[in-house]
Structure 1
Amino acid sequence: MSLNHKTVDELHRLLVKKEISATELTKAALKDIKEREEAVGSFITVSEEAALAQAQILDEKGIDADNVLAGIPVAVKDNISTKGILTTAASKMLYNYEPIFDAAAVEKLYAKDMIVIGKTNMDEFAMGGSTETSYYKKTKNAWDQTKVPGGSSGGSASAVASGQVRLSLGSDTGGSIRQPASFNGIVGLKPTYGRVSRFGLIAFGSSLDQIGPLSQTVRENAQLLNVIAGHDVRDSTSSAQPAGDFTAKIGQDIKGMRIALPKEYLGQGIDPEVKETVLAAAKQFEKLGAAVEEVSLPHSKYGVAVYYIIASSEASSNLQRFDGIRYGYRTENFSNLDDIYINTRSEGFGDEVKRRIMLGTFSLSSGYYDAYFKKAGQVRTLIIEDFENVFADYDLILGPTAPTPAFGLDTLNHDPVAMYLADILTIPVNLAGLPGISIPAGFVQGLPVGLQLIGPKYSEAAIYQAAGAFEAATDYHKQKPLIFGGDA
């Protein structure tokens, strides 16, 4: 059995006992990446030299027995700044960008002696739901290489699901951690907005973006969130709410927990077999002692429209900085300053990014601002109030993560509206700034189905408690794709 089949706790024990070294573990991970990368295409950059140098320093220093993640390799989504390691956001615009600073989340990884092994592929500037808008490559689903891995954190999800790494970081603006986790049969958490610093995250939608962990198991997910969560003065939206230990409630029973099942999350557009899987999961929660009751989130149907106005408007503002003047790609075809701006952006951005910039610029333009951006903000408030009304009576909300299992490569990427609608179940969580997790809940036609658990702000520990109870009562998380030594 190779090392990537072992949990973080098991690897930690081996490291502390010196049965393996951090260098050996890193070399094993690099070998797994090389063996599987051609099949799944998870990485844009593998930082082999830097990772091995870091591992050697750690071996000389020794593994701290109280630091469970010391020496553990981790992959980082390519829109999260890494000092001296190429950070492209999967765009031609940043094809040569090596940051001079680390994101706050990456600083925290290093502070806990984790080993950053590489940067994962994604939809360009995190705009997409299939990891097909990347300038560099199309990532594939770990379970079926003719299917998409989801997006925009598709590389981070497929890297974990295929056994290249145990842990990775992604970012979630409208479902970009949870949907790929669902499609790849792993655990992915979008934390409460402000729980993890956005300092060093290349901005897409500043009121929506959140960095979060992807992992094989619920406990490992909580262990990684323990590392990256916390207040940061460099991020004005960072929460001062104490983080605590997110693993503390894992293993506790959930008797008496009240869980809401919104009827809108099982309505039109949801694959019938996905619906059956989620209803079976609801019964499992009832067996574990929770009460599951149907509720309504009436304004959730407006979530996609609201999201694409707000997110695109924020994107059109955030992406103004990429102009060919200071860093990144610059056109060679210019005779004046206007040419530099226009041609750099025309050549440097992909079609989906341009589409969203234009949509956002239109929504913010004079004469349309009130009709679109302002109205979207008002409906966002109604969506937030829907959640608050439910959480007045319930601990968590349960539903599918995505309306379908993973879809085929090159099937939805030519139809933007169909692609946008695939995020209908995850988007409201970002609009409301809530935490949400996707955990493996079954299979439809051989492809994983994710179950989404949503909680009130700062309820990550309770979400992990419920997710951990479901995981302990089922074996979906133990099933692995063929590429990771499984049967399918």
Structure 2
Amino acid sequence: MKPYELTITQALAKMKQGDLSAVELTESCLERIDAVEKEVTAFITIDRDGALLQAENADRQRKAGRAGTLCGVPLSVKDLLCTAGLRTTCGSKMLANFIPPYDATVVEKLKSAGAVIIGKTTMDEFAMGSTSESCAFGVPENPWKKGYVAGGSSGGSAVSVAALECLGSLGSDTGGSIRQPASLCGIVGMKPTYGRVSRYGLTAFASSLDQVGPLCRTVEDCARLMDVISGYDQMDSTSVQRDVPPYLSSLADGLEGLTVGVPREYFTEGLDGEVKRIIDDSIEVLKKKGAAIVDVSLPHTQYCVAVYYLIAPSEASSNLARYDGVLYGYRDMEADTLVDMYKQTRSKGFGAEVKRRILIGTYALSSGYYDAYYKKASQVRTLILDDFKKAFEVCDVLISPVTPTPAWKKGENTEDPLAIYMSDILTLSANLAGIPGMSVPGGFTADGLPVGVQLQGGHFQEETLLKTAFNLEQGLALEHRKPAL
């Protein structure tokens, strides 16, 4: 087994035993990037020199007996998390040359734990999308099948892990942007509870929905990253001051006493037959592990897409108003007046999907329409939250598909944004309610495409989710496949 094929847990064990150095591991990942990156386009920026310097420092720290919990582990970071001195583009021409002067809190925590930041990954522009096809710097390829989408908006993060270019990654999830690409690429991805992980240094899309989380190859690796990035941050006003349980130690075998709910609204018309089969098999695994299975209802699920695509664009309209060509970012230099400079900067700097969402959001917030659209959507959002509260009165965890179908062909729905929006119907509600959710590999279709299983829990119940996911992973015992790159 080559070093880049190791999980985080395996790599840490080898480095602790002295069988592998951080430099050797990082060099192996960089060699893998050289070999497959042209096929998968997972990265916008690769920090070769910086990564090797970090790895050398990690080896020194380990020799001195000061190794952090992720000492020497090469990770990638979605390109909307600020990295001091390293370009952060948000996948947009608007920030093509932006170099932040500080690290996002989660990046700072990774560095403090000794992790090696190997590069910044491709993503939908400003995290607006479900396929990563709106990225201004290349579109990631699904490593399992050429010509198919990798998911989005954290598509590059998922691909970098699935294609074995690094051992783990950080992404962001506003409406499914960690869970959906994790499912389509056959890896583990977690969206924590809103407020569990700091958002300081995360470039805002929709501030009441955005959340940072890990993408990894195993549930154990996911728990390790959650142990590092979770916790209160005084720099983030939405961060919750609450004790963080030791996630790694929660991964015990057996689910006796746990009740798993199956939301009937998630198993309706449009659900692919192979996806349903994989979810049904996963439910049987949880039964064998000791969990009780009950049917539950989330009656306002049908309104999730409409609610999300009013609230998220409205917040995006407000957040993206700062990109006007004045203080930083792209500026159109051909304009004759200040007003023309504003117009041309935003027209040329933003891509089509971002402009579409800004227009939707600005309209929804405009005078005379606010009550009819944004206010009404916020009220229905409360009903969606109430659905989950009632469901969690009778169960501990919900199980469902992540997406109605496996990955689809690139360009298939480019001219029909509504079709792409509808593909998020099973993930949006977790963001609207602020609850944690994750995707765990469930199996493969006959065509060799991965399918993930979605688990959702009550607020701050990541520990329960990880334990359930661990048991599902162990029970499914999927053969260890690698994409044919």
Q: TM-score, normalised by structure 2?
A: 0.98
Quote the residue 1:61 is aligned against: 61
How far does the alpha carbon of each residue in 1:170-197 deviate from its partner, in whole angstroms, 9 at most, with x for none? 0000000000000000000000001110
- Alignment partner of 1:16 is 2:3: no
8 A Cα contact 2:183 2:440, kept in partner: yes
Amino acid of the structure 2 residue aligned with 1:336: T
Contact between 2:58 and 2:67, CA under 8 Å: does it hold in 1? Answer: no
Cα deviation 1:49-82 (Å, max 9, x = unaligned) = 1111111122223255874411101100000000
d(CA) in 2 for partners of 1:216, 1:58 = 22
Which shifted more, 89-98 or 9-18?
A: 9-18
Counterpart in the other structure of 1:486? none
**Aligned equivalents of 2:10, 2:285: Cα separation in 1:** 28
How many angstroms does 1:212 deviate by? Answer: 0.2
Residue 199 of structure 1 and its aligned partner are, at CA, apart by 0.3
Q: Distance in 2 between matches of 1:292 and 1:150?
A: 30
Gaps of 5+ in 2: none
Superposed counterparts of 1:214-363, under 5 Å: 214-363=215-364
Task: Report deviation, 1:357.
Answer: 0.1
What secondary structure is seen at the aligned counterpart in 2 of 1:293? strand
What pairs up with 1:63-462 in 2 under 5 angstroms?
Answer: 64=65, 67-444=68-445, 445-462=447-464
Distance in 2 separating the partners of 1:477 and 1:301? 36
Residue identity in the other structure for 2:8: V
- Contact 2:294–2:395 (CA under 8 A) maintained in structure 1: no
Alignment RMSD: 1.1
For residues 232-272 of structure 1, give each alpha carbon's deviation from its aligned partner in whole angstroms, at most 9, with x where no partner exists.
01110001111121112212310121000011111022112
Shift, 1:33, TM fit? 1.1
Question: Using the alignment, how far apart are the partners of 1:29 and 1:158 within structure 2?
Answer: 14
8 Å contact 1:8–1:68 — kept in the other structure? no
Q: Aligned equivalents of 1:462 and 1:126: distance in 2?
A: 28
1:46 is matched by which residue type in structure 2?
Answer: I
SS in 2 for 1:248: helix
Find the residue that maps to 1:353 and give its secondary structure: helix
Contact 2:232 2:239 survives alignment (8 Å)? yes
> 1:381 deviation in Å?
0.3
Partner-residue secondary structure (3-state), 2:189: strand
The DSSP-based 3-state class of the residue aligned with 2:145 is coil
Q: How many residues align?
A: 483
Cα deviation, residue 5, structure 1 = 2.0
Question: Compared with structure 1, are the counterparts of its residues 300 and 477 closer, same or farther at alpha carbon in structure 2 (3 Å cutoff)?
Answer: farther
- From 470, 482, 485, the equivalent of 2:472 is 470
- Tell me if structure 1 keeps the 8 A contact 2:67–2:114: no
Conserved 8 A contact 1:193-1:433: yes
Q: Please give the alpha-carbon distance, in whole angstroms, between the structure 2 residues aligned to 1:274 and 1:58.
A: 42
Secondary structure of 2:424's counterpart equals coil
- Shift >4 Å, 4+ stretches: 63-66
Distance, in Å, in 1 between the alignment partners of 2:329 and 2:71 is 34
Distance 2:198 2:257 in 1: 34
1:401–1:451 CA contact under 8 A, matched in 2 = yes
- The range that moved more, 277-286 or 387-396, is 277-286
When normalised by structure 1's length, the TM-score is: 0.97
Please tell me whether the aligned partners of residues 258 and 395 of structure 1 are also in contact (alpha carbons under 8 angstroms). yes
Structure 2 contact 88–100 (Cα < 8 Å) conserved:
yes
What is the distance in 2 between the residues matched to 1:208 and 1:145? 32
5+ residue gaps in structure 1? Answer: 484-488
Higher mean displacement: 437-446 or 83-92: 437-446
Pick closer, same or farther for the CA change 1:438–1:477 going to 2, 3 Å.
farther
Shift of 1:408: 0.4
Would you say the 8 A contact 2:85–2:100 is kept in 1? yes
Q: Percent identity?
A: 48
Q: Does structure 2 conserve the Cα–Cα contact (< 8 Å) formed by 1:9 and 1:68?
A: no
